[in-house]
Every structure is written in structure tokens, then in C-alpha cells.
Amino acid sequence: MSEATASILQQTFGYAQFRGAQQAIVDHVTGGGDALVLMPTGGGKSLCYQIPAIARQRAGQGVAIVVSPLIALMHDQVGALHEAGVDAAFLNSTLDWAATQNLERRLARADITLLYAAPERLTTPRFLELLDGLAARGQLSMFAIDEAHCVSQWGHDFRPEYRALTVLHERYAGVPRIALTATADALTRADIVERLQLEDARQFVSSFDRPNIRYAIVEKKEAVTQLLRFIEGEHAGDAGVVYCQSRKRVEEVAQTLQNAGIRALPYHAGLDASVRQLHQDRFLREEGIVMVATIAFGMGIDKPDVRFVAHLDMPKNIEGYYQETGRAGRDGEPADAWMAYGLQDVVNQRRMIDESPAGEEFKQVMRGKLDALLALAEATDCRRVRLLKYFGEDYQRRPAAGLAQGGPAPSGRSEPREAGSVGVTCGNCDNCLSPPDVWDGTDAARKLLSTIYRVQQMSGISFGTGHVMDILRGKVTDKVRQFGHEQVSTFGIGAELSEAQLRGVLRQLVAIGAVAVDAAAFNTLKLTDGSRAILKGEQAVQLRESVSAPASRKTRQKTRSDRVPPAAAQLDAEGQARFAALKAWRAEVAREHNLPAYVIFHDATLAAIAARAPQTQEDLQGISGMGASKMDKYGEEVLRVCAGA
Ligand code: ADP
Ligand code: ZN
């Protein structure tokens, strides 16, 4: 069995080796086993069901059905299989009557290797009848359930249609099923197993690490300006995604980026479906487009060369953050996950939960998830370690050389130290590359909390951030005078603290739940149950130094230049010329076939071809991504293009 699947990998897809758990999964499913596959985005999930489908079809076991939630993407997925010479099709509402008829006839003859269908289509009586026919003849080879987390309400893409997929198990008990997802917190995983009745399936849990993605979370000041600086400084001309919370903000940010000469497009649910489609197509088919979008954009986008994902607003939880950032760098080349985060994000997310119509139990779960994300944002140690821990994974410890352990000094600033109090560093996140200064904010926090308490006591109402900070810093404003707050005993006792520091203290107190911001009352500040321990001095508060504070201006954030450059950047001048010619040729082919360029060949494949300066078909053998079908179809042309460059 192994031999057959390895030869499909090489012949059909042009890859030399399986990655990670792929081989084990492929063999298990080809052999008729059920599987639940948890693998990060870009890990290579598609081959885990495509190769078994091909192997089983060849063994006379008939058609594989692939459940996929996004009809918009089926076209490209099927197109990619056609390019590799695999007989695949999709069935969805975009097909006209005649095409549907034709497809159904082929299906009845089991004359297809993989059929992609949306869950709502799959569970119609008409379709089930077709499947019944296939099953009766032993021609239903397997089911693949992609994006399986859609079945869980704990996931971020809950789709009720997925619940109906239990019918597959009940009706076709003997047909193997493989469910795949890149979302893997324990709750969601348990839910997938239960909802899809996969109790007996073998679970394949891969490491969720995405080593090529660099994580950075910056303090939000002028978010859009910060974003512009980030894109212009590190990603000029690259394809990327910018996530924003609201439609309005999407429009504004897209406009600002366009004004700065960046090829940005907006995407949100308020746009006409045709506009959305057009923008998505351009993002997939053209190079260097920046999509500014709400989270409505992205699921199943398998564009491999997205070089950055930026969040201008904080997502709801780590699952969402990880899924969204995971869309960067599927091709394994260096990529960035960048987020700007501030007090308002905390306030907004808390309020959205409070105001949602959901039940209290659900809200509690959501609050817990939000808190985990806040802790990540405030963290002073390795982001990757925390992210992976959230998914139940211990990041593989690497000995960190020259660790300056010594905790923070009793008061005031501590010495800069290596990120990660236990000494684990990934070397590819902001905190590892440029460890933030940590200071003991316990004293500042107590001053802030007691000011909030005292003004409330004195005036019988609560006040907002600006006013509380003015009192603490001893500023006599009109409002201070009006309420007689110079009399508060904490007036001026925080004069040595900068406004940036105090804002940082406050944000982190809100993040850990020691201060509540009352959105229903002009964002005024209130103490919570969590305030007490800090006020009493029972709980220390370790804070990251505000990035704007002078003390932290030491190691400049490392930039792209430190990284291993992508394959294409390593070519000599002639190689570059071939690469450029190949890209131009690929763009033409892609347009003719109405497919994204990467479906024809990845950049990395073109770069490998360019590096070889091939003269003959033999020279093209063994290039990753050059399967037999592509060799037949494009080998000659590739040689001609290289010769002419
Ligand atoms: P996922 O669905 O897990 O996000 P994909 O199936 O889209 O990931 O695979 C990500 C990329 O990696 C694709 O471009 C795919 O062609 C490539 N890939 C997958 N498996 C291999 C392999 N064994 N060798 C080389 N490239 C691979
Ligand atoms: Zn790190």
C-alpha cells in the first residue's frame, strides 16, 4: 500500500516525500480506516484525502466525496486536481441544469475520482439517493470532511449544515471517513468527535507550530499609520490580508492604503456578492494584492504566498487569531503575523460578549477564551510557546544560550532579560527577537485602583480613564477643580509615571479583569472582585514596558533581511531573468485556464526551474511540484521559455 501511495505522491503531485504525519494518515485511510486529522494550515491536509481517494479509485473502490463548506473555492481546488491529471469535479449551485445532469450521470457510473460538494447539497434526498446507488454497488470509496470544526459551535465558523453530516455514518456505516481541521483546542476537538461520531476514528494530531510565521503584537497608537509603516517597511509589493472589526473600518483602511499607493481591496459582507467575488478573484489571481477584510474573508483561501496577515483589531479568541494568521505563508517561506492591540480592543470585545443574546454558560466560555488571547497580547515571553500551549502543545525546548534570568527588581525597572521566564524561546516572535523590558507595576496598579475607588467614594459616580490619570499625575484640570478632586488623597502621587505607562497599567488591569470599563456609562472605570488582591498588595503586577517608553529602545525589531530569503531571491541575474519570464508565462496560462497562478506552479517550483537552467526534459525531472501531468502539459513550453529568457 505504502508503495502505491508514495508513487501517487511523486507521479501525480511531483513531491519527493510525505510531510510529517501525511504518510501514516494516507496509509490508514487508504486501508479503510476512519481518521480525525488535526494539522495546521499549510500542513498539507489536502493530500491526506486526495491520495487515498486516488489509490482507492484505482483499486476499484469508486468515488470519494469531499465535503467542503465554501463553494467559491471548489472551482480552484478541482482546477488544481485537473492540472495534476486527477479526475475531479464539484457539485454546487453554480452549475446549471445540464451540467448537473451530466455530472450526476458520471457519478452514477462512478466515473469520477473525487467529488466536492457543500454539506447542504450532500444531505439533500436527491443526492443521498445517488450515494445509495453507489454504495449498493460498492462504488462509494470514502468521505472526506474538510474544515470539520464547522460542526462545532465552539469553533469560530459554526455551520449548522455540518450537523446533518451524521447521516454519512448512519447511512453508510462501512465507508471510511476522514475529518480534517486546522482548529484544535480540546473543546472543539471533543465536539467534532461527538458530533460526527468519530469515536472510533484514529486521531492524528500534528504539531501546530508554524515556524515560518513571525508573530508580533504591538501597542496600538495610530493603528493605520503603524500598519502603513509595517507594510511599507517589510512587505512592499507583497500579498497580504488586513483584518478589521467593522465594515466601515475596512472601507477606510482600504482607502488609506490605496492613497499610499498600495494595491488594497476591501472585502466585507456588506459589499455586493459580485464585488466580493471580484475582489477575491483578484486577490487569488493577481500578485501583491492586500485584502482589507472582516473575518468574512479567508476561510479556505489556499493562496500559498500570502506574506503577511495583519490585525488592526483584536479577534475574539486565540482560535480565531491562529486560524487567521495561519493564512500567511502556507508555502513555508517567511511570513508575518502582526497585530496592533489597545485598551479599546479589550473594552469592545468584553462588551460584545456581554451584549450578545447568548446564554450565560456560553458567555462564560467566550470570556475565558478572550482572556487567553489578552494574556497572549500582554505576554512578555515567547508568543509561540503560549500559542502552542493553548492548543495543548509543549513547544520543543531549545536551550537558550546566555539567559539572563534574574527576575524584576523589587521596584521600578528591571534589567532587560531574555523572553520566556522558563527560558524557552522560538527566536521568531517579537518577544524573543527583542525582549520587552518588564517592570514591576504593582505600585502603580495600586495607586490607580485606589484612585478609582476614592473618586467614586467621594463623588458617588465613576470616571473615565483620562480623568483618573489626571488625578494620579496631579494635573489640575477644569474637571478636577469642578469635582474638587485635588482633595483626593492619591492626587499627584503618580506624578513620576508617564501617561504611556499609566495607560499600559490600566490596559493590563482591564485585561486581567482587575478593572471593569462600563461601556454603558461613558466607559467609566470600576473596581471588580479582581481588584482586591492587588489593592491589598497580595498580588504582584508584572508589566511590559510601554513600547514608547525610552527604556525599551534597544534592539531594533529585526526585519526581513535577517531571514533566509525566499528561493527566488537567491537566483543570479540570469536565473532572475528566467524566473521573470516563467512568471509571465504562468500568468498567461493561468488566465487561459481561469485559475490562480499558483495552481499552475508555485513560485518555489518556478524558482527551482529557473535555477536549473534546463535544456532538456530530463533536466526538469525531480523538481518539486512537477508531476507527470504537468510535465506532459508544460514541459516543452517551460524549456522554450527558459531558452528565450
Ligand atoms: P492545508 O490544507 O493543510 O492548509 P494544503 O493541503 O493546502 O495545506 O498544503 C499546503 C501546501 O503544501 C500546498 O501548496 C501543497 O501543495 C504543499 N504540500 C503538501 N504536501 C506536500 C509534500 N509532501 N511535499 C511538498 N509540498 C507539499
Ligand atoms: Zn518566541
Q: Which three cell numbers stand for residue 227?
A: 500598519
Q: What is the pLDDT of residue 546?
A: 61
d(CA 586, CA 598): 9
Buried b (16+ CB within 10 A) or exposed e, 569-591: eebeeebbebbebbbebbeebbe
The predicted-structure confidence for 454-472, as pLDDT tens digits, reads as follows 999 999 999 988 999 999 9
The predicted-structure confidence for 526-557, as pLDDT tens digits, reads as follows 999 989 999 998 888 888 776 443 333 333 44
Q: Which three cell numbers stand for residue 477?
A: 484640570
Question: Which ligand 1 atom lies nearest to the CA of residue 326?
Answer: 4
Question: Which ligand 1 atom lies nearest to the CA of residue 9?
Answer: 23
Q: Report the residue among 8, 9, 19, 76 best suited for mutation to probe ligand 1: largest number of ligand atoms under 8 A from its CB.
A: 19
Answer whether 47 contacts ligand 1 (Cβ < 6 A).
yes
Q: Which three cell numbers stand for residue 644?
A: 528565450
Answer whether 304 contacts ligand 1 (Cβ < 6 A).
yes
The number of angstroms, rounded, from the C-alpha of 168 to the middle of its chain's C-alpha atoms is 29
SS3 396: coil
Report residues near ion ligand 2: CB below 5 Å. 382, 384, 426, 429, 432
HEC string of 523-536 equals: CEEEECCCHHHHHC
Answer whether 300 contacts ligand 1 (Cβ < 6 A).
no
Q: Write the CB contacts of 368 (distance below 8 Å, at least 6 apart in sequence).
A: none
d(CA 572, CA 549): 44
Domain boundaries along the sequence of the chain = 3-205, 213-433, 438-544, 560-644
The number of angstroms, rounded, from the C-alpha of 19 to the middle of its chain's C-alpha atoms is 20
pLDDT at 68 over 60: yes
Answer whether 498 contacts ligand 1 (Cβ < 6 A).
no
d(CA 645, CA 640): 9
* CATH superfamily for domain 3-205: P-loop containing nucleotide triphosphate hydrolases (3.40.50.300)
Average the pLDDT over each of 207-211, 255-259, 372-376, 393-397 and give the range with the smallest value: 393-397
d(CA 22, CA 514): 46
CATH of 438-544, one of 1.10.220.70, 1.10.275.10, 1.10.1040.10, 1.10.10.10: 1.10.10.10
Q: What is the pLDDT of residue 564?
A: 62
Answer whether 43 contacts ligand 1 (Cβ < 6 A).
yes
The owner of cell 530569503 is: 565
Tell me which residue has its CA closest to atom 16 in ligand 1.
44
Q: Within 13 Å of residue 55, how many CA atoms lie on the same side as its CB?
A: 22
d(CA 167, CA 165): 5
Q: Write the CB contacts of 162 (distance below 8 Å, at least 6 apart in sequence).
A: 69, 119, 145, 148, 150, 151, 195
Tell me which residue has its CA closest to atom 23 in ligand 1.
18
Answer whether 147 contacts ligand 1 (Cβ < 6 A).
no
Question: Which ligand 1 atom lies nearest to the CA of residue 182?
Answer: 3
Q: What is the pLDDT of residue 500?
A: 81
pLDDT band at 563 (very low <50, low <70, confident <90, very high): low
d(CA 185, CA 150): 13
d(CA 168, CA 171): 5
Angle of helix 499-511 versus helix 360-378 axis, rounded to 10: 140
Q: For residues 569, 571, 577 and 582, what is the CA-based torsion angle, rounded to 10 degrees?
A: -80
What is the gyration radius of the CA atoms in the chain, in angstroms?
A: 28
Nearest bound ligand to CA 147?
1
pLDDT band at 508 (very low <50, low <70, confident <90, very high): confident
3-205 shares its CATH topology with 438-544 = no
Q: Which three cell numbers stand for residue 554?
A: 534597544
Answer whether 491 contacts ligand 1 (Cβ < 6 A).
no
CATH number for the segment(s) 213-433: 3.40.50.300
Q: Write the CB contacts of 414 (distance below 8 Å, at least 6 apart in sequence).
A: 406, 407, 408, 437, 438, 439, 440
- CATH topology for the 560-644 domain: DNA polymerase; domain 1 (1.10.150)
Question: Which ligand 1 atom lies nearest to the CA of residue 46?
Answer: 6
Q: What's the pTM?
A: 0.78
Answer whether 240 contacts ligand 1 (Cβ < 6 A).
no
The number of angstroms, rounded, from the C-alpha of 116 to the middle of its chain's C-alpha atoms is 24
Answer whether 242 contacts ligand 1 (Cβ < 6 A).
no
Evaluate the CA torsion angle 504, 507, 509, 511 in order and state its sign.
negative
Angle of CA points 15, 17, 23, to nearest 5°: 115
